[in-house]
Every structure is written in structure tokens, then in C-alpha cells.
Chain A
Amino acid sequence: MSIWEYANPVKFLRLSERVLPALWVISFACLAIGLIWGFFFTPDDFRQGSTVKIIYLHVPSALMAINAWFMMLVASLIWLIRRHHVSALAAKAAAPVGIAMTLIALITGAVWGQPMWGTWWVWDPRLTSFLILFLFYIGYVALWSAVDDPDSAADLTSMLCIVGSVFAVLSRYAVNFWNQGLHQGASLSLDKETNVANVFYHPLLFSIAGFVCLFLALVLYRTGTEIRRRRMRALMAREVRHA
């Protein structure tokens, strides 16, 4: 049994029906644990004060904003190479989730930056990159909604996703070059000691797990919605054609 079995919409729906309830529960549990622990039971940072609590929102959402795009890129490649409809629809389903994550990362980043940098917005390379990512997401969603035929919409958005990825990486370098930033380095890496102290690290892990599961749950559910929408379209087209 290969993973491609689930490229069949019916099988995919059956699987997602089985997985989804557990996924919702896990994601909300992880989010609750991570955020409550982080919000109520962690000390303030000696330098950043209580704003350090924003880390439990900012870091996971920023992570998912990028991962969502990466997932869309992989799904687009699978569609272009193997032409599995579920893959294309999953990419479509992930885009609005990615937009929400990017939006959260931008808002929390700006709110965090306000006391630290003394201004709501600075054209810091990381913030700027996320803004550009946001534009890419919007263009991607707009293109999906502008093309009527679902297959050519999938084709075109997949190409946009691939070319956009290249330019997003280019933009990242360009932006770095353009303004050496105020932003601190990545908050989370494998050697946690150098970055975030333990007290902050553990709730952060829960929060990240929560965001990951929430993303998966949302994408699975939304993909199911897209599959049903597509099935409805196919049924109606058949009815018209053979009336």
C-alpha cells in the first residue's frame, strides 16, 4: 500500500474523516497547554519584560507561515508531475491558512516590536520578508479564484507557486542586503541553550506542536471541502452535458 492511494479523493476523504477528530483534539490540547503554561506560569524576561510571552504566538505562527508555503510548493510539484487532484486541492486549501499564519506573525511581530524598538513597524529584513510572503499568498489565492476551469487553475497556480518560491528566496537575500536588521536571530534552533532558556522553551514546544496540528487539521478539513466542491461541480457539469 503506497501513499499515493490517498491521491484518490474518496480514500482521502475516508482517511481524513477518521483522523480529523483526533487531530482537532490534539491541536487544541497542545495549544491550550502551551499558551496557558506560557502565559500564566513563565517568568518575565529580565530584558524584554512580559513581552516575551508573545513568543508563544509569534514563533509558531512564523514557522507555519513558511512551512505552509513550503507545503504548497511540494503539493504543486506533485500535481504538476503526477497530476493527483487531491494534491492540487490541498495546496489551494492551505493558502488561506498560510495567510492567517502570516498575518498573525506580522501582527504579533509588530506588537512585540513596539516596546522593543519603539515603533510599530520597522523595515527589518525578517518583517519585510513576511510582508512579501503575504503578498505572494494573496496573489496565489487571487489567481485560484480568477481561473474558472479547476484543472488549469491548478496548473497556473502551481507554476506561480514554484516561480514565486524562487523569487521569495531571492527577495529574502535582497532584503537582507538592503537593510541589516534589528531583529534577533532565530529564536529556536536545535541547540536551545544558546537561544531560549528552558523555562520558555518547553511551553514553546507545546505551542508549536499545537500550531502544527491545527494547521494539519485545517488543511485536511479544507481539502475535504475543496474535494466536495469539485465533486459537486463535476456532477453538475455531467448533468448539463448529458441532459
Chain B
Amino acid sequence: MPDLGKYAAEVLSAYGATCVVLCVLVAATLWQGRKVRAELAQVEKNQDGKGAQDG
């Protein structure tokens, strides 16, 4: 750990805040992506099933 001198709180909080924002962004992105993927797969499966019944 480097010596941050009297500005340690500022520097660390800047890094901390950035980390939080980026992590939230990445997590939200991945979570949404997974969810939509799963939902789409469900819808596609339903429609295929129905298509098979019809024809």
C-alpha cells in the first residue's frame, strides 16, 4: 500500500466510488442480459411448440 499522505481519504474514496459505479453498471448489464436471454428462449420455445401443433 503506497503512502497517500494527507489526501488518502480523497484518493481512496474516488477509487471506491468509481469501483462501485462500474461494478453496478457491469452487474446490471449482465443481469439484464441474462434475464432477457432466458425470457427470449422461453418465448421461442413456446412458439415453436405451437407451430408444431398447428402444422
Residues of chain A whose beta carbon lies under 8 Å from any beta carbon of chain B: 35, 39-40, 44, 49-51, 53-54, 57-58, 61, 96-97, 100, 103-104, 107-108, 111-112, 114-115, 214, 218, 221-222, 224-225, 228-229, 231-232, 235-236, 239
Contacts and interface: CB of A to CB of B under 8 A. Distances in A.
A63 to B, nearest CB: 14
14 contacts: A50-B11, A53-B11, A53-B15, A54-B10, A100-B25, A108-B17, A111-B14, A112-B14, A115-B10, A214-B22, A221-B33, A231-B40, A232-B39, A232-B40
Given A235-B43, A235-B44, 4 more contacts: A51-B10, A97-B25, A103-B21, A236-B43
Contacts of B36: 225, 228-229, 232
B47 A114 contact: no
Nearest to A97: B25
Interface of B: 1-8, 10-11, 13-15, 17-18, 21-22, 24-26, 28-30, 32-33, 36-37, 39-40, 43-44, 47, 50
B7 A100 contact: no
A100 B11 contact: no
Q: Which of A50, A214, A221, A231 has the most CB of B within 10 A?
A: A50
Contacts of B47: 235, 239
A228 B37 CA distance: 7
A61 B10 CA distance: 17
A225 B29 contact: yes
B49 to A, nearest CB: 12
Contacts of A214: 22
Contacts of B10: 51, 54, 111-112, 114-115
Nearest to B35: A225
Contacts of B29: 218, 221-222, 225
Q: Which of B14, B33, B37, B44 has the most CB of A within 10 A?
A: B14
